[in-house]
Every structure is written in C-alpha cells, then in structure tokens.
Chains A and B, each alone.
Chain A
Amino acid sequence: MIPENFIQSNLQGISFIGPELILTLAILLILLVGVLLPYWRHRILFTILAVAGLAGSVLPLWKLPQPAPDLTYLSNLFVWDWLTFLSKPFFAVVGVLTILLTQVTGEIDNSEYSECTILVLAVTMGMMLLVASTDLLMIYLAFETMGILSYLLVGIRARDERSGEAALKYVLYGAFTSGTMLFGFSLLFGLAGSTDLLAISQKVAFASQHPQDRLLLIVAILFFLAGLLFKTASFPFHFWCPDVYEGAPTPITAFLSVGPKAAGFVLFIRLFYPLFATGHDATIYEAVSGLDWPSILALVSAITMTLGNLAAIHQNNLKRLLAYSSIAHAGYLLMGIVSLSDLGLRSVVFYLVVYLFMNVGAFAVVAMVASAGGSEEIDSYRGLGARAPYVCVAMAIFLFSLIGLPPFAGFVGKVYLFAAVIYKKIYWLAVVAALNTVISLYYYLRIVKAMFLEKPTETIQIQVPLSSRVLLLALLVPTLGLGIYWQPLARVVSGMF
C-alpha cells in the first residue's frame, strides 16, 4: 500500500467534484450562520445562501475537460461522461426551484427553515454524487445520502401528524428496499470480487456464459431492481408514493417527485446499461439470459402507468392526484429504459428535463393556492379561474404539458418516448401508453374544468404575491419554450450516448 499514489489521485480528481465541495461549503456556511445569528429572523438570508451555493456549484463544471465515456477519476470511483456533466446542473436546478418555492410559499416554519435548506442542499449533493458514481460503495453511500435525508425532509413540518406519518411510511419502505438493494450489491460483489461497475459488467458478461451463475445474477438484479423501482415510484414499490407526497410539505413533494425520481432513472441507466447491453445501441440482451428482461420491464412499465392513471381518477386531493400522476409518469419513463437503446436513453433524459419544469410547476401552483388561503382539495379550485387567472392559466399549461398535448414540452418528450418503443417494435406497450394518455386526459382536465367552467363553492380571496408569479413565469418559459423550440436540448441529449 503506497499512500502517495492515492494522494496524487485524490488531489488531481478533486476538481471533478467541485460542485459537491461547493455545496458542502454552502451547507456548513448556512449551519454556521444559523448558529451565530438568532435563527428565526433570517429566512431570506438562508434562501440567498442556499441558492448562491447551488448556482455556484455548477460554475466549476465549465472549467473541466471535455467529458468522455471512459474518463474516470478519484481511483475509478466516479466517471466524467456527458450524463454526469448534464445531471449536475439538472439537480442544481431542482434544488434552486425547491428552495425558491419554500421561500415564496412560506410552507416551512421559520424555526425550521435553515435546517430545511441544509437538508435540501445535502440531498442535492447526494444526487449529484449518485449520477457520477461507478463504484458500488460510492453508489450506495450517495443513494443513502439522498434517501435518509429525504425521509427527514418529509417529516420536517412541525406539529403535523400527516407529515410524521408520511415520513414513517417513507422510512420503512425505503429502509426495506435499500437493504434489499444492498443485498443485491453484495451478491454482485461476491461474484466479481470488485465494487467497480466496469469490472462487474465484464465479470457478468463472462459469468452469463455459465449456466451455474445465471440464477445468482437474476437474484442480484431483481434485488437491486427493488431499490430502483422504489426510488422511481414504480410498480410494485409505489405504495408509499401517494401518502408520502400528500403528507410532505408541498415544496418537498415537488422536490421528491423530480429529484430522487430522476436520480433513480439515471441510476437505472448506470447500472442496467453495462449489465444488459453488451455494446452501445445493443439489440442483444445476452448479458443476463434466463429471463426475458425487456418483457419484464415492459410489463412493469405498463402496470405502473395503468395503476397510476386509474387510481388518479378518483382523487379529490390535488397532491394525491399528482402523486398518482407521478407514478404514471414513472411508467412512461420506464418505456425508454425498456427499449434499452441509445434512442431510449436519450428520450428518458429529455423527458426528465421536461418533466422537471412541468411537474414542479403543477406542485408550485398547488403550494401557492394552499398558502394563499385555499386548500389542496379540488373544491377550492372551483371557479378559481376568474379570481386568479394568471395562476390558473399557468396550472392549465402545466397540466396540458403533463398530458402531452401538442404545443407544450410534454408532447415532445412523449413523442421521443413513444418513438423509442416503436423503434424497438414493442407495439403493445406503445398502445397501452397511448390508452393511458387518454385516461390521464380525464383527470387532468377535471382540474381545468373546475378552475374555469365551474361556479366557486368558496368565496376565499386568492392573493398570489409577486415573487410567486415570477417563479411561475420561470417554470412556464421552459414548459412552453421546449414545446416549440426543443432542438437545442435534443441536440445536447443526443450527444450523450
């Protein structure tokens, strides 16, 4: 053991994790400020610090060398490819939107605000690390950083039993699935004798030639599928989703519905791609034979979207409705994974970017209406269009985009996903997805109808402050813009794989 080598490697690689280091510094700074100043007065100060930390965290990215698929650093723990390069700003945006949403809606008590920002930053750091990791140990650590801290975020709201119950459910399911995933990791480690993903995929390709090893591979993959399906809220690990999304503070719900979900999908790509596809744009799934994996994943995808959409129909609480819609979207996104082609992966990444803006937008409206005197029930949206036209038009746009109607970004994203599946000739899945889109039309339009066509049942005055309007505008621009002029994003994404 020669320490010098590692010291060299660590010093050289440290610039690659610049974003995470800056986030850590921001966390420590917020903590110190919170300790040194009387903590309940400085909400805006913490917001500025957190947003500055997140914005600053992406600055070092442009100073780094060109990403390449095999550019690893820090003793092969991380890889510096386009997926990493693009994911880090993505998660920074998720974090900024969450912090700003907490700021403008005032959902979190002032006495807990600094802790909330610290946790959001730390989860963001975990997600950034997760997408870059290529080592099982690092993947698990980042996965748990994201997981454990998001359990705490769900339970952060003071004096609210629902928040506590949601956190407990999230912890129990989360601990179970991440433990299962860790077991899967240990089996892979036992087989390959290494935690490095590259070494594992070589060993897996070799082992799959031997019928004796196949069962172990299947068990291992099923085990870590549990963790991935949990994080992405897919069948059969989706039960937690509605309760947790309903009980958590709304900005945190928005955060969970895009952040860890996206991280889960990126991890899907990181773990599954090397294991299943023996080459890029592989038509072969030889790596782990014995089970027809594409069909299994396709089935999971179809069940996930159908369950989500069918359950969403009867919901009267908007957060629950959006939770089921988020389950359905996990099903749509799985379509891209099912096709296991470059096209499929591109469409997943494209849709995740689009989904970020439209879904956070929908949750933002829910949070704003609730904090402006309304509630999360559909009743308080009846006739809201006349009293708060700006917010309602924004909500309608986000919902249309979630359905996947033409002029909006969601449409382009869905076209890519459908194209990926059809390209792979999995027609039945495309048909199921199309039917699901029709089902989803019903419950999304129910909200639009309530807002614009129904008489108000309550006469509460909804006053949305200027800051909220600006934030909504910031979410509307990409939702509309990417629907009309999506080529730049498509070009960036197609350079990735």
Chain B
Amino acid sequence: MTDLIFNVFILLTIIPCFWVALSSNIVHAAFSLLITLFGIAGLYVLLGADFIGVIQVIVYIGGILVLIIFGVMMTQRGKLLPLSIQLPGKLFGAVLTGVILAALLLSATRTLWPVAAVLGEPQLTSAAIGDLLLGKYLIPFEIASVLLLAALIGAVLIARRSVRGE
C-alpha cells in the first residue's frame, strides 16, 4: 500500500516537471509546479518528515506559488507571449541534465550509505525540531529572524518603489 502511494507521489512530482520546463505557456508552467510541489510534500511525509511536508504545503504552495502566479497575472496584460527555448539551448540543457542525472543515479546506487535500523512507523518530528531550534540550533534560529527582517525590509522597499514609479 505504501509503495503504491509512494509511486503515485513520484509520478505526481515528475510528470508535471516536464510541463514546467517545456511548456510555452507560463501559466500552465506555474500550475504544473503546484502539482510538483504537492507531490514533493507527499514524498516528505512518506519519508517520515511530516513537519517538512506540512511546511512545504503551507510555504511553497500557499505562499511562494501564489506569489508566482500573482506575478504572472500582474505583469502581463492580455495575451501571454509564448515562451520558447531555441534548439541549441534545449540540446545543451538535455545533455547537461543527462550527465548530471547519470552521475547522480550512479552515485546514489553505488554508495554505501550509512543506514539506520528502521524502527516501525516514523514518529512525529515537530517536537524534536522544536527542541533543536530552542537548544542546539538556537543561534541559527535567531539569525534566521534577522535574515527574514532584512529580507522583508528590502523586498518591501523594492516593491514600494515600483508603486511610486508607475
């Protein structure tokens, strides 16, 4: 059963990727990305990373993707210009992707990964993450807030400028 669900999520992740990369309609690409991100969230959950899975849905689908679609809607009026990639670019991309894919597949299958013994069903992880954020990773946690603050200020500044500049 888990295998079946796993395969479904794999397909949900991979197939829309082709649309994202190859579609000439940017709105289609954005919506395909939505399905991909959802599939990845499912994979996270199946890997036992429940917290990351939920965050994936909240932040990526609920936030970033909405922003992307927003951006598409906002910048273009009327008919969308079709996106196209020239053949040399496509070929180069295909070769590069192929090489990287082959290297990753080979190394992933050959490597002697240190594997922990699997103890039944994975447990909820958010409590462990909370302990780490308040304990070992306290400084990164606080630094993240400074990063978010500075990013907020900068992003809002640039967005505000565009309002004034219109």
Contact = CB atoms under 8 A, between A and B. Distances in A.
**A–B interface present (Cβ within 8 A):** yes
Interface of A: 1, 3, 5-7, 10, 13, 17, 20, 24, 27, 31, 74-75, 77, 112, 115, 118-119, 122, 125-126, 129, 137-138, 141-142, 144-145, 148-149, 152-153, 155-156, 158-159, 167, 187, 190-193, 207, 210, 212-213, 215-216, 218-219
A114 B144 CA distance: 21
Contacts, number: 115
Interface stretch (B36-44, B72-80, B110-118): B110-118
Contact of B107 (A153, A159, A219): A219
Contacts of A141: 140, 143-144, 147
Given A13-B139, A137-B140, A210-B112, 20 more contacts: A3-B135, A10-B135, A27-B149, A74-B138, A75-B136, A112-B157, A125-B146, A129-B143, A145-B147, A148-B147, A156-B154, A158-B164, A187-B107, A191-B111, A212-B111, A212-B112, A213-B111, A215-B106, A215-B111, A216-B111
Given A10-B138, A75-B136, A141-B140, A122 B147 contact: yes
Contact of B155 (A142, A152, A191): A152
A119 to B, nearest CB: 6
Contacts of B104: 219
21 contacts: A7-B135, A10-B135, A10-B138, A112-B157, A115-B153, A122-B146, A125-B146, A137-B140, A141-B140, A148-B147, A148-B151, A152-B151, A155-B158, A156-B158, A159-B161, A191-B114, A193-B114, A213-B112, A215-B103, A216-B110, A216-B111
Contacts of B151: 148-149, 152
Nearest to B137: A137
Contacts of A7: 135
Given A112-B157, A212-B111, A216-B110, A126 B139 contact: no
B165 interface: yes
A152 B158 contact: yes
B150 A190 contact: no
B107 A77 contact: no
Nearest to B165: A159
Interface in B122-165: 128, 131, 134-140, 143-144, 146-147, 149-151, 153-155, 157-158, 161, 164-165
Given A191-B113, A193-B114, A215-B110, A119 B143 contact: no
Contacts of B110: 212-213, 215-216
Contact of A27 (B112, B135, B150): B150
A440 B154 CA distance: 37
Contacts of A24: 146
Contacts of B165: 158-159
B107 A10 contact: no
Nearest to B115: A193
B153 A118 contact: yes
B147 A6 contact: no
Contact of A31 (B143, B147, B153): B153
A167 B113 CA distance: 40
Contact of B154 (A77, A115, A192, A215): A115
A27 B139 contact: no
A17 B150 contact: no
Contacts of B131: 1, 3
Nearest to A194: B114
Which A-B residue pairs are the 5 nearest by beta carbons?
Answer: A152-B154, A6-B135, A216-B107, A122-B150, A215-B107
A274 B71 CA distance: 44
Contact of B147 (A3, A137, A144): A144
A216 B107 CA distance: 5
Contacts of A153: 154
Given A1-B131, A215-B103, A216-B111, A149 B143 contact: no
Nearest to A164: B158
A156 B160 CA distance: 11
A347 B137 CA distance: 34
Given A190-B113, A215-B110, A149 B150 contact: yes
Nearest to A23: B146
A7 to B, nearest CB: 7
Contacts of A122: 146-147, 150
A52 to B, nearest CB: 18
Contacts of A218: 107
Nearest to B106: A215
Given A118-B153, A210-B112, A216-B107, A74 B139 contact: yes
B118 to A, nearest CB: 15
A119 B154 contact: yes
A433 B80 CA distance: 50
Contacts of B114: 191-193
B53 to A, nearest CB: 17
Given A148-B147, A219-B104, A119 B140 contact: no
